[in-house]
Amino acid sequence: MTIKHWIGIGIAVILVIWGISVQRGLVEKEERVQEAWGFVQSQYERRADLIPNLVSTVRGAADFERETLEAVISARSQATSIQLGADALNDPQAMQNFQAAQGQLSGALSRLLVTVERYPEIQANQNFRDLQVQLEGTENRISTERNRFNSAVREYNTAIRLFPGNILAGMMGFQSVSYFEATAGAERAPTVEF
Protein backbone atom coordinates (compact mmCIF):
# COMPACT_ATOMS: atom_id res chain seq x y z
CA MET A 1 0.00 0.00 0.00
CA THR A 2 1.11 3.48 -0.74
CA ILE A 3 1.17 6.47 1.54
CA LYS A 4 -1.95 7.81 -0.21
CA HIS A 5 -3.84 4.68 0.78
CA TRP A 6 -2.70 4.98 4.40
CA ILE A 7 -3.68 8.66 4.43
CA GLY A 8 -7.10 7.77 2.97
CA ILE A 9 -7.60 5.03 5.55
CA GLY A 10 -6.48 7.41 8.33
CA ILE A 11 -8.94 10.09 7.20
CA ALA A 12 -11.73 7.51 6.97
CA VAL A 13 -10.98 6.26 10.49
CA ILE A 14 -10.94 9.82 11.84
CA LEU A 15 -14.28 10.58 10.15
CA VAL A 16 -15.85 7.41 11.56
CA ILE A 17 -14.59 8.19 15.07
CA TRP A 18 -15.83 11.78 14.72
CA GLY A 19 -19.23 10.58 13.46
CA ILE A 20 -19.60 8.16 16.34
CA SER A 21 -18.66 10.86 18.82
CA VAL A 22 -21.17 13.36 17.40
CA GLN A 23 -23.91 10.72 17.24
CA ARG A 24 -23.30 9.69 20.86
CA GLY A 25 -23.45 13.31 21.99
CA LEU A 26 -26.74 13.89 20.17
CA VAL A 27 -28.26 10.73 21.63
CA GLU A 28 -27.19 11.79 25.14
CA LYS A 29 -28.76 15.21 24.67
CA GLU A 30 -31.95 13.69 23.27
CA GLU A 31 -32.12 11.37 26.28
CA ARG A 32 -31.70 14.35 28.63
CA VAL A 33 -34.68 16.00 26.93
CA GLN A 34 -36.76 12.86 27.40
CA GLU A 35 -35.65 12.53 31.02
CA ALA A 36 -36.54 16.17 31.69
CA TRP A 37 -39.93 15.61 30.08
CA GLY A 38 -40.48 12.64 32.40
CA PHE A 39 -39.86 14.90 35.39
CA VAL A 40 -42.36 17.44 34.05
CA GLN A 41 -44.98 14.73 33.60
CA SER A 42 -44.31 13.40 37.07
CA GLN A 43 -45.08 16.79 38.61
CA TYR A 44 -48.24 17.20 36.54
CA GLU A 45 -49.33 13.73 37.70
CA ARG A 46 -48.64 14.73 41.31
CA ARG A 47 -50.88 17.76 40.88
CA ALA A 48 -53.61 15.70 39.24
CA ASP A 49 -53.50 13.26 42.15
CA LEU A 50 -53.81 16.04 44.73
CA ILE A 51 -56.79 17.75 43.11
CA PRO A 52 -59.44 15.15 44.04
CA ASN A 53 -58.32 15.41 47.67
CA LEU A 54 -58.54 19.19 47.56
CA VAL A 55 -61.99 19.12 45.99
CA SER A 56 -63.23 16.52 48.51
CA THR A 57 -61.91 18.55 51.42
CA VAL A 58 -63.50 21.74 50.17
CA ARG A 59 -66.77 20.02 49.30
CA GLY A 60 -66.93 18.40 52.72
CA ALA A 61 -66.12 21.57 54.60
CA ALA A 62 -68.76 23.84 53.11
CA ASP A 63 -71.80 24.06 50.94
CA PHE A 64 -69.54 25.40 48.25
CA GLU A 65 -70.03 27.14 44.95
CA ARG A 66 -70.73 24.25 42.60
CA GLU A 67 -69.59 26.06 39.46
CA THR A 68 -66.06 26.54 40.80
CA LEU A 69 -65.70 22.91 41.85
CA GLU A 70 -67.07 21.67 38.54
CA ALA A 71 -64.59 23.87 36.66
CA VAL A 72 -61.70 22.33 38.61
CA ILE A 73 -62.98 18.79 38.07
CA SER A 74 -63.54 19.41 34.36
CA ALA A 75 -60.13 21.04 33.89
CA ARG A 76 -58.43 18.16 35.71
CA SER A 77 -60.24 15.65 33.53
CA GLN A 78 -59.20 17.47 30.36
CA ALA A 79 -55.60 17.92 31.52
CA THR A 80 -55.19 14.25 32.39
CA SER A 81 -56.81 13.11 29.13
CA ILE A 82 -54.11 14.77 27.02
CA GLN A 83 -50.97 12.68 27.15
CA LEU A 84 -47.81 13.92 25.49
CA GLY A 85 -45.18 11.23 25.34
CA ALA A 86 -41.50 11.89 24.75
CA ASP A 87 -41.93 10.68 21.17
CA ALA A 88 -44.32 13.59 20.43
CA LEU A 89 -42.12 16.37 21.80
CA ASN A 90 -41.17 17.56 18.33
CA ASP A 91 -44.86 18.16 17.42
CA PRO A 92 -45.53 21.86 18.21
CA GLN A 93 -49.33 21.44 17.96
CA ALA A 94 -49.36 18.56 20.44
CA MET A 95 -47.22 20.63 22.83
CA GLN A 96 -49.60 23.60 22.51
CA ASN A 97 -52.64 21.39 23.22
CA PHE A 98 -50.94 19.91 26.27
CA GLN A 99 -49.91 23.34 27.57
CA ALA A 100 -53.41 24.74 27.00
CA ALA A 101 -55.02 21.94 29.03
CA GLN A 102 -52.50 22.40 31.85
CA GLY A 103 -53.06 26.17 31.74
CA GLN A 104 -56.82 25.72 32.10
CA LEU A 105 -56.24 23.52 35.13
CA SER A 106 -53.90 26.09 36.70
CA GLY A 107 -56.52 28.80 36.14
CA ALA A 108 -59.31 26.69 37.65
CA LEU A 109 -57.17 25.92 40.71
CA SER A 110 -56.35 29.61 41.14
CA ARG A 111 -60.05 30.51 41.02
CA LEU A 112 -60.82 27.75 43.54
CA LEU A 113 -58.18 28.96 45.97
CA VAL A 114 -59.32 32.59 45.64
CA THR A 115 -62.95 31.61 46.15
CA VAL A 116 -62.06 29.57 49.24
CA GLU A 117 -60.74 32.76 50.87
CA ARG A 118 -64.41 33.71 51.46
CA TYR A 119 -64.96 30.62 53.61
CA PRO A 120 -63.12 30.85 56.96
CA GLU A 121 -64.23 27.36 58.02
CA ILE A 122 -62.40 25.87 55.03
CA GLN A 123 -59.28 27.90 55.68
CA ALA A 124 -59.27 26.69 59.30
CA ASN A 125 -59.40 23.05 58.17
CA GLN A 126 -55.91 21.56 58.65
CA ASN A 127 -56.42 19.12 55.77
CA PHE A 128 -57.21 21.98 53.43
CA ARG A 129 -54.17 23.94 54.54
CA ASP A 130 -51.97 20.89 54.05
CA LEU A 131 -53.36 20.32 50.56
CA GLN A 132 -52.95 23.99 49.71
CA VAL A 133 -49.29 23.81 50.75
CA GLN A 134 -48.86 20.63 48.71
CA LEU A 135 -50.44 22.27 45.64
CA GLU A 136 -48.27 25.34 46.02
CA GLY A 137 -45.18 23.15 46.30
CA THR A 138 -46.29 21.14 43.28
CA GLU A 139 -46.80 24.27 41.19
CA ASN A 140 -43.28 25.38 42.13
CA ARG A 141 -41.92 21.94 41.19
CA ILE A 142 -43.75 22.05 37.87
CA SER A 143 -42.21 25.44 37.13
CA THR A 144 -38.74 24.17 38.06
CA GLU A 145 -39.07 21.04 35.92
CA ARG A 146 -40.42 23.02 32.96
CA ASN A 147 -37.38 25.31 33.20
CA ARG A 148 -35.06 22.29 33.32
CA PHE A 149 -36.87 20.80 30.35
CA ASN A 150 -36.44 24.01 28.37
CA SER A 151 -32.72 24.04 29.23
CA ALA A 152 -32.34 20.46 27.99
CA VAL A 153 -34.31 21.34 24.83
CA ARG A 154 -32.09 24.37 24.21
CA GLU A 155 -28.93 22.28 24.55
CA TYR A 156 -30.30 19.56 22.28
CA ASN A 157 -31.75 21.92 19.63
CA THR A 158 -28.50 23.89 19.56
CA ALA A 159 -26.47 20.71 19.07
CA ILE A 160 -28.55 19.57 16.10
CA ARG A 161 -28.46 22.99 14.45
CA LEU A 162 -24.78 23.87 14.80
CA PHE A 163 -22.12 22.68 12.39
CA PRO A 164 -20.90 19.96 12.24
CA GLY A 165 -23.61 18.25 14.28
CA ASN A 166 -26.31 19.48 11.92
CA ILE A 167 -24.88 17.34 9.13
CA LEU A 168 -25.17 14.11 11.06
CA ALA A 169 -28.37 15.13 12.87
CA GLY A 170 -30.17 15.50 9.54
CA MET A 171 -28.84 12.23 8.22
CA MET A 172 -29.74 10.35 11.42
CA GLY A 173 -33.25 11.80 11.81
CA PHE A 174 -32.74 13.97 14.89
CA GLN A 175 -35.48 16.63 14.95
CA SER A 176 -35.86 19.77 17.02
CA VAL A 177 -38.09 19.67 20.09
CA SER A 178 -40.68 22.30 21.10
CA TYR A 179 -40.11 24.44 24.18
CA PHE A 180 -42.64 25.03 26.91
CA GLU A 181 -44.05 28.49 26.37
CA ALA A 182 -45.82 30.79 28.76
CA THR A 183 -49.59 30.57 28.72
CA ALA A 184 -51.27 33.42 26.86
CA GLY A 185 -51.87 36.25 29.31
CA ALA A 186 -49.34 34.96 31.83
CA GLU A 187 -47.48 38.27 31.66
CA ARG A 188 -50.42 39.97 33.44
CA ALA A 189 -50.77 39.46 37.19
CA PRO A 190 -54.09 37.85 38.13
CA THR A 191 -56.73 40.00 39.77
CA VAL A 192 -57.65 38.83 43.25
CA GLU A 193 -60.85 40.19 44.75
CA PHE A 194 -62.39 39.47 48.12
3-state secondary structure of 176: coil
Q: Is residue 166 assigned to a domain?
A: yes
Q: pLDDT tens digits, residue range 91-116? A: 788 888 888 888 888 888 777 777 77
Q: Is residue 151 assigned to a domain?
A: yes
Q: pLDDT tens digits, residue range 117-139? A: 666 666 656 767 777 788 888 88
Q: Is residue 190 assigned to a domain?
A: no
Sign of the alpha-carbon torsion through 118, 119, 124, 130? negative
Question: Would you say residue 74 has pLDDT above 50?
Answer: yes
Say how far apart CA 129 and CA 113 lie, in whole Å.
11
Q: pLDDT tens digits, residue range 162-173? A: 888 888 888 888
b/e map of 52-89 (b: 16 or more CB within 10 Å)? eebbebbeebbebbeebbebbeebbeebbeeebebeeb
Q: Is residue 184 assigned to a domain?
A: no
CATH for 164: 1.20.1440.20
Task: Supply the mean pLDDT for the chain.
Answer: 79
* CB within 8 Å of 64: residues ≥ 6 apart: 58, 115, 119, 122
Say how far apart CA 37 and CA 42 lie, in whole Å.
9
Say how far apart CA 138 and CA 116 lie, in whole Å.
19
Enclosing domain of residue 26? 3-172
